[in-house]
Structure 1
Amino acid sequence: MRLSQLVGPRTSKVVELPDPAPAADQVLVEVLACGVCTSDLSAWQDHDSGSPPTRLGHEIAGRIAAVGSDATRWSVGDLVTGLGGEGFASRAVMDAHTVLPIPVGIEPAHALGEPVAVLEEALSRSPITAGSRVAVVGLGFMGLGLVQLAKRHAPGLLVGVDPDPARRGRALSLGADATYGLDDLPADFDVVLEATGVTPGLTTAGSLVRSFGTLNVIGYHHSGDAKMDMNLWYKAVTVVNGFCPDRTRTIAAMATALDLIAQRRFSYAPLVTHRYRLDQVDEAFAAMEAAGPGFVKAVVGA
């Protein structure tokens, strides 16, 4: 098998390794697509060349090449997606209990289970009902995904907020009722979904939520200090941590999300804008880092 691993800052190398053998409760997957995730960006930027290589890639979709003795629900040739690791490779071992079938007729790159499951699980803890006023702050991959997922709950108003006009245009095409830059923002939203991962975005999101409303922090604030506006306290706002550490909940959300993909109620097609080969992982991360006007999501194929 071929595998891309980090050997230095912003530097990956493809190596040849023997195919791994799945344990009893695992499956070996031929990786057909693996998404490039913002949560791995800092590792790619800062990897110490004196440290052992790091293997990234956890948004895996592929075809089962071998099954462990206890993984009896799966067969060689099944198309699956799920929770895994070391996905920037031609083959990857995955837990048989954390993979699900790719919907019939959907190409693997448009059925990445992990990222949409993360969004759906976070959204399930947001009290969006018919008629709710909802704002999505940050219209990158996560925000545009949330626009699609939130739309099915029939909000009375669904607004996207982002300084980039190209991103705002995409949000409108995916179902947002209106979009705004950072000026003249409306307020008093019942639910605000923060998807920026940076403190200024969190501040903007907090300013939009009404008294007794809900702010769901879904962006990746995975390092440093993220300051929270204490005016939220005085507005009695419910703040939801959008991160989910429980694999069972994530898999349940993934099943819901994949069903929405099967029904064409959620689509990766407008989100996957860049595709790369396994030997182009560094180019994929660089494109995500630059986040140009044409970029939403990069996918690497073996």
Structure 2
Amino acid sequence: MRAVVKFKDGKDGWEIRDIERITPKDNEVEIKVMATGICGSELHLYHDNHTYAPPVVVGHEFCGEIVRVGKDVTKWKIGDRVVSENNKSVCGVCEFCRTGRPILCPERKPVGYKVNGGWTSYFCTPEHLLIKIPDNVSFNEAAMTEPVSVATQAQIVRNTVKIGDVVLVQGCGTIGLINAMVAKAIGAQKVILTGTNVDEQMRLPIARKLNIDRIVNVEKENLKKIVMEETDRMGVDVIVEASGADPAIYGMVELLKKTGNIVAIGETARPDLQFPWVGAVFKSCTITYSFGATYEAWQLALNLMGQGKLHLNELITHEIPLEEFRKGFELLEKKEALKVIMHASDY
């Protein structure tokens, strides 16, 4: 079967390879991959700015249909539509594994980076990692369950966004837009979303089609003035930082209400940044760092999707064959695409 393999550093370290279609273990199922997405972290990997263990089949956003089951599998059958959590390789005995947070396991090998992922035709995984896709959710939408779970983890599981909050989401990439939609879906009174001039080509026009209360191009409008107008000069209750941009991160505190909450999700291009520490102390604010997702977050994501509260199809700008993955990277780099969904051709 065909797969996208990252086998060494550099742009020439990627290729489509024929790999063995393995037989699922006794406790595993084999999933026929029906849709898979390109994530921003895979774009980092394309530039060798993400850890990985070569050679590895890339891809951690995917979904599909069960086509084979191991002899010990009892809860799933051929034809079930599923997504899989990405914690395929963890120790199972550390504090984090035993308290339902295997994504923080020190021995975890991320799917698509340290163990083979879903940019291929078939994927085997243990049955305990599977979650059913609601009948009214398409495979294209289900391929975005993982990024939606990042938002439900940050906002619901971490209990950062409450009914009636005014929420500022910084950044209008896929994660920013999904966080804006999730905030509205769970009862935020008002959601403000930011972008820049470069986002006017693709991202902000899409954002304006969604149920977001205020869209702000920070290079054309005064964000602080708008925030104060929208909040009776109190500042926002919550800031979801999904941009990873230095100016956005540095300027957060002055936009925040006293006792407000900063939710840090976005990765930055460098390991350290300046931050107005004293200002944050005087605001008596809370800073919540959120990474990945627990099972609860995956289930919450699919519940919201099944209820039709997230307009994920609006985010999909391109569908391409798996063999054209480089085109997907190019489109994303040029900001000509928002969400690229790929399909393997050798079904």
Please give the TM-score of this superposition, normalised by the length of structure 2: 0.78
2:276 to 229, 232, 242: 229
What secondary structure sits across from 2:34 in the alignment?
A: strand
Distance 1:67 1:148 in 2: 36
* Structure 1 contact 35–300 (Cα < 8 Å) conserved: yes
Distance 1:138 1:233 in 2: 24
Query: Deviation per CA, 1:97-128, whole angstroms, max 9, x where unpaired?
Result: 12211111322111122111111111112433
255-264 or 125-134, larger mean C-alpha shift: 125-134
Residue 58 (structure 1) shift = 0.5
Alignment match, 1:180: 216
Query: Deviation per CA, 1:185-218, whole angstroms, max 9, x where unpaired?
Result: 1241011111112333322433321221000011
Where in structure 2 are the equivalents of 1:116-131 lying within 5 Å?
116-124=148-156, 125-131=158-164
Distance 2:244 2:27 in 1: 35
Alignment match, 2:4: 4
* Structure 2 contact 134–302 (Cα < 8 Å) conserved: yes
165-174 or 207-216, larger mean C-alpha shift: 165-174
Alignment match, 2:237: 190
Q: Specify whether residues 70 and 297 from structure 1 end up closer, same or farther in structure 2 by C-alpha distance, changes over 3 A only.
A: same
* Structure 1 contact 160–168 (Cα < 8 Å) conserved: no
What secondary structure sits across from 1:127 in the alignment?
A: coil
What secondary structure sits across from 2:33 in the alignment?
A: strand
* Structure 1 contact 189–209 (Cα < 8 Å) conserved: yes
Alignment match, 1:272: 316
Query: Deviation per CA, 1:14-50, whole angstroms, max 9, x where unpaired?
Result: 1112211112222111111111111122222238xxx
What secondary structure sits across from 2:342 in the alignment?
A: strand
Q: Specify whether residues 178 and 66 from structure 1 end up closer, same or farther in structure 2 by C-alpha distance, changes over 3 A only.
A: same
1:142 to 169, 175, 185: 175
* Structure 1 contact 81–101 (Cα < 8 Å) conserved: yes
Alignment match, 1:291: 335
State whether structure 2 residue 301 is matched by structure 1 residue 301: no
* Counterpart amino acid of residue 116 in structure 1: V
* Structure 2 contact 170–194 (Cα < 8 Å) conserved: yes
1:157 to 186, 190, 197: 190
* Structure 1 contact 32–301 (Cα < 8 Å) conserved: yes
* Counterpart amino acid of residue 216 in structure 2: Y
Please give the TM-score of this superposition, normalised by the length of structure 1: 0.89
Give the count of matched residue pairs.
294
1:82 to 59, 65, 84: 84
Query: Deviation per CA, 1:145-203, whole angstroms, max 9, x where unpaired?
Result: 11111112332321111113353343332111112122311241011111112333322
Residue 241 (structure 1) shift = 0.4
RMSD of aligned Cα (Å): 2.2
Distance 1:98 1:223 in 2: 33
Q: Specify whether residues 205 and 35 from structure 1 end up closer, same or farther in structure 2 by C-alpha distance, changes over 3 A only.
A: farther
* Counterpart amino acid of residue 272 in structure 1: I
Percent identity between the two aligned chains? 28
* Structure 1 contact 62–108 (Cα < 8 Å) conserved: yes
Residue 143 (structure 1) shift = 1.0
Q: 1 or 2, which has the higher strand percentage?
A: 1
Alignment match, 2:45: 43
What secondary structure sits across from 1:270 in the alignment?
A: helix
